[in-house]
Chain A
Amino acid sequence: MKYVDEYRDPALAQRISAEIGKLSAGRPLKMMEVCGGHTHTIYKHGIEDVLPPNIDLIHGPGCPVCVLPMGRVDDAIAIARTEGVIFTTFGDMMRVPGSNGSLLDAKAAGADVRFVYSPLDALKLARQNPSREVVFFAIGFETTAPSTAITLLRAQAEGIRNFSVFCNHVTIIPALKAILDSPDLRLDGFVGPGHVSMVIGMRPYTFITRDHHKPIVIAGFEPLDIIQSVYMIVQQISEGRAEVENQYARVVRPEGNVKALEAMARTMELRPYFEWRGLGFITHSALKLRREYALWDAELRFEVPGIRVADPKACQCGEVLKGVIKPWECKVFGTACTPETPIGTCMVSSEGACAAYYNYGRFSMAAERAHLPTINLQPATQAQH
């Protein structure tokens, strides 16, 4: 398929990987892929098998579902249960457990929860159901915040009053700062988030190179994008450089997307602080609606309990999100906590490191242990079409 196959060429992947091996000369290097989309690609395509063994990929906090604290899920469910509400959400959030069940459970118990692919679909529902209150569960980094912003602008322009947004948008830079300041972790470089950067551009990352002297390469989401980004990081390290580089130049512009940033700035402002699952409270790390948009702010229009809920004791999502432990090192990984019965958020979203590891990564571990041959299927037949 055009624009896909070019980025999945196994021969090219092998060649770049060999170059990475040569350039890094076997030196163990730890790099964090910040974005959950990258974690998903890495596991879905088995990229760790392709990279030289001295390259260790650490999974970062960039899965918006994973970093949402349990209390916010409870708040969402409380809104969804309100009489007359149609609660809309991205599919990923449906199965995330709150302290007492998930949105899927609330739906089974009678709440009108629907999944949408875009906030504009939620606005459309509001237009079609004027007697109902339609609430959109807005989550995500700067990647999804602009579409929420545009939807708010449109709701305002059209005077749609039965629509509101439960805003949980977070920003990536404060989380990166928190990770770099954390004493637990030593990293050699970052694979930067592609879609976030498409919006915010390259400049916000300069503190990583200036203050922490770590290279960061903004990467695309296809397997070869990630492998090439790893190569670019290794190249910077070998040349003693620490710069913000852009591998995803076909999408990301240095200045970002000015229109998207404007729409966000018109409708949203920074919260003084916000709780991140596993990372705790981080100042100026999330967005809320501006006062001018209070009419469309679900937090003001509905009763939300707003109670902070501690994570289950056994859950080590926090350490996983900070990259301190690998998913399989968590005490409940794969036993009490599986994708069917998730305890922590990292096991729910397809972008979560634990779910990716459980669904896709286990084989490499099993193969390593049992010394299994890799798959190399010989065609059994010469049958022709």
Chain B
Amino acid sequence: MSTDTRIGEVLSKIERVRQTRRHKFYLRDEHITLSHGSGGKATHNLIEGVFGPAFSNPLLDRMDDAASFTVAGTEARLAFTTDTYVVSPLFFPGGDIGKLAVHGTINDLAMAGAQPLYLSAGFILEEGFPIADLRRIVTSMASAAADAGVMIVTGDTKVVERGKADGLFINTAGIGQIQSFGPLGQAHAQPGDKVLLSGPVGDHGIAILLAREALDIETDTESDTAPLYGLVAALLGAAGQGVHCLKDPTRGGVATLLNEVALASEVSIALDEHTIPVHAAVRGACELLGLDPLTIANEGKLVAIVAPEVAEQALLALRAHPLGREAELIGEVRAEPAGMVFLRTDIGGTRVLDMLVGDPLPRIC
């Protein structure tokens, strides 16, 4: 048998396995490990293996960042989402857990094309936690909410014994009103679409890593945490129905996000490595630590997949907004090979870009 035929056979075998696993996630683990919180493959397996089957319904099964629905008897289209924050340390360059808890939930709504309106806030506090720190965090939440034009309208407080929580954890949920015209979602990318990224990747993850680990690497890297609805509104205003998919590359980074889109839309995504913006300090830290900036978390960036005819307006609209000044066109959507993301490397080669496997940085948000 010739090598080519054999390569073909091996590939189709791997592809068959990948296809079967796409809709059937195998959760073989007996215990929760930190990988299950990474936002990468293990998280997917956990969601698809435990939560998905138990809660299954048409709204949830789309597995978008927020659920979108209309209220019976009204025209209002709403988006609803929730997120929990366990970041360590609680205060880091560029932000704190409170600011993150507001921005993260606002951004999940924004990615559904929704203007965030109301948030809830739930606190799990550890016995002994300094009230001064709590004040600082709550003040930061309040100003983040005010800046983004949302109100925190309901909340809850629980206290657990010392040692049962690491200082404090925050949960926020949010409701927003959908402003987009067409259907938005990770299943709506089409061959020919262009992939836009709103700015340099990896700042949040690297800022947290350097704040936490005693690596003695000094940079001025700050978390990019920011509320993204303004940027989304500018984008929707410029590109309208041409925007097919919006997602924010948080845990698992751009690589995981695009793999999710490729799988959900049954398309292939091709990226050009040299167009992907990364701050020099982040790139340097990644080179030293053996990390890939494309798998590092961001808290103030978005990826937009748009129709080719609106790509130019969309990019200009992103760049005209303060949070999108460094936006770039980083790739395009293709039909084949479906479910796969690949990358033209800086040196001119090509490689597969897979989801994050394992967790280099637990508790990033």
Contacts and interface: CB of A to CB of B under 8 A. Distances in A.
Interface stretch (A7-15, A166-174, A206-214, A264-272): A7-15
Contact of A105 (B7, B13, B33): B33
Contacts of B13: 334-335
A1 B348 contact: no
B350 A364 contact: yes
Given A50-B347, A334-B17, A385-B319, A1 B290 contact: no
Interface stretch (B50-58, B120-128, B200-208, B329-337): B329-337
A374 B352 contact: no
A91 B14 contact: no
Nearest to B318: A383
Contacts of B258: none
B138 interface: no
A348 B358 CA distance: 10
Interface stretch (A141-149, A185-193, A354-362): A354-362
B360 interface: yes
A35 to B, nearest CB: 14
A370 interface: yes
Given A45-B345, A377-B275, A363 B351 contact: yes
Contacts of B45: 340
Q: Which of A121, A224, A361, A379 has the largest number of chain B CB atoms within 10 A?
A: A379
Given A95-B358, A362-B352, A366-B340, A47 B284 contact: no
Contacts of A108: 31-33
B7 A46 contact: no
Interface residues of B, number: 61
B348 A50 contact: yes
B357 A109 contact: no
B349 interface: yes
A223 interface: yes
Contacts of B42: 340
A182 interface: no
B337 A360 contact: no
B352 A359 contact: yes
Interface string A245-265: 000000000000000000000
Interface stretch (B94-102, B139-147, B240-248, B308-316): B308-316
B272 A91 contact: no
Contacts of A1: 280, 283-284, 287
B134 to A, nearest CB: 28
Contacts of A117: 213, 215, 289
Interface string A71-92: 0000000000000000000010
A25 interface: no
B355 to A, nearest CB: 9
Given A45-B349, A105-B31, A223-B347, A363 B283 contact: no
A6 B350 CA distance: 19
B194 interface: yes
A350 interface: yes
Interface in A1-27: 1, 4, 8-10, 13-14
Given A108-B33, A377-B344, A381-B315, A367 B350 contact: yes
A359 B45 CA distance: 18
A10 B351 contact: no
Interface in A40-71: 43-50
Contacts of A375: 270-272, 342-344, 350
B14 A334 contact: yes
B349 A47 contact: yes
A47 B347 contact: yes
Interface in A327-385: 328-329, 333-335, 339-341, 350, 358-370, 372, 374-377, 379-383, 385
A39 B10 CA distance: 21
B214 interface: yes
A381 B14 contact: no
A165 interface: no
Contacts of A372: 336-337
Contact of B4 (A14, A368, A370, A380): A368
A233 interface: no
B67 to A, nearest CB: 28
A200 interface: no
B312 A46 contact: no
B352 A339 contact: no
Given A369-B7, A369-B11, A381 B329 contact: yes
A370 B349 CA distance: 17
A365 B32 contact: no
Contacts of B349: 45-50
A104 interface: yes
Contact of B357 (A10, A45, A339): A339
Contacts of B32: 108
A340 B354 CA distance: 11
B147 to A, nearest CB: 26
Interface in B1-26: 4, 6-8, 10-11, 13-14, 17, 26
B351 A361 contact: yes
B345 A334 contact: no
B135 interface: no
A341 B45 CA distance: 12
A13 B180 CA distance: 46
Contacts of B344: 374-377
Contacts of A340: 41-42, 45, 357
A50 B13 CA distance: 27
Contacts of B34: 104, 107
B345 A46 contact: yes
Given A328-B10, A335-B17, A339-B357, A13 B347 contact: yes
B346 interface: yes
Contact of B340 (A94, A363, A374): A363
Interface string A203-239: 0000000000000000000011000000000000000
A334 B7 CA distance: 12
A280 to B, nearest CB: 27
Interface in B247-269: none
B84 interface: no
Contacts of A47: 347, 349
B28 interface: yes
A45 B352 CA distance: 10
Contacts of B308: 380
B179 interface: no
13 contacts: A4-B283, A50-B348, A104-B33, A104-B35, A108-B33, A334-B10, A362-B352, A370-B337, A372-B337, A375-B342, A375-B344, A377-B331, A380-B194
Given A381-B311, A381-B329, 5 more contacts: A14-B348, A44-B351, A104-B33, A104-B35, A375-B350
6 nearest CB pairs, A to B:
A46-B349, A334-B14, A381-B312, A360-B351, A49-B349, A375-B344
